[in-house]
Homo-oligomer: A and B are copies of this chain.
Amino acid sequence: MTLLPPTPPAAAPHTKRRTVAELSHDFRLANGRLARRVRQEQAENELTGGQFSALGAVFRLGPMTLSALSEEERVTPPSMNRTVNALVQAGLVDRAGSAEDGRKVILTVTPAGLALVKETRRRRDDWIAKRILRLTPEQRQVLAAATDIMKELTDS
């Protein structure tokens, strides 16, 4: 099965012809390698991957219970409890009992946690922004269009 129309669109005239199978393979590898490379930028952070991911979830979703967070992060409550202990001890997350339901605890991001999330997010964006600045406007346009398509792929 061929992929491209006889005359390729103007946005990327030099792209080689690929079958869907070839495109799937090449695109998947390029996506995975780039994601891995971006994630390496996190290594400078003092938090582990799981800790930063949990902190980011509380930041993104707002105050939430331990169970909700453990479900969101796909780990068991005891595992998340340990992760949260580390975040609380580091002063990045606040753990408070719920007023309505005494069994629950409410987790919120502290100002220090907020600052760490923002600083890390900025550093990761910077890494890729520095490279995107070197691209041509046409290449940036391709990435912008690809971004929307990738969201579609992820959600479908």
Please report A residues at the B interface, Cβ cutoff 8 Å. 3-5, 8-12, 14-16, 18, 20-21, 23-28, 30-39, 121, 124-126, 128-129, 131-135, 137-154, 156
Contact = CB atoms under 8 A, between A and B. Distances in A.
A149 B3 CA distance: 18
Contact of A34 (B8, B38, B150): B150
Given A15-B148, A23-B144, A32-B35, 10 more contacts: A4-B137, A15-B145, A26-B144, A27-B132, A27-B143, A30-B147, A30-B148, A32-B38, A142-B145, A143-B146
A9 B10 contact: yes
Max chain B C-beta neighbours (<10 A), residue from A14, A18, A140: A140
Contacts of A24: 125-126, 128-129, 132
Q: Can you tell how many copies of this chain the complex includes? A: 2
Nearest to A53: B36
Given A125-B28, A147-B23, A15 B141 contact: yes
A9 to B, nearest CB: 4
Contacts of A154: 30, 33-34, 37
Contacts of A23: 132, 140, 143-144, 147
A147 B26 contact: yes
A133 B20 contact: yes
A121 B37 CA distance: 20
A104 to B, nearest CB: 28
Contacts of A149: 135, 139, 142-143
Contacts of A15: 141, 144-145, 148
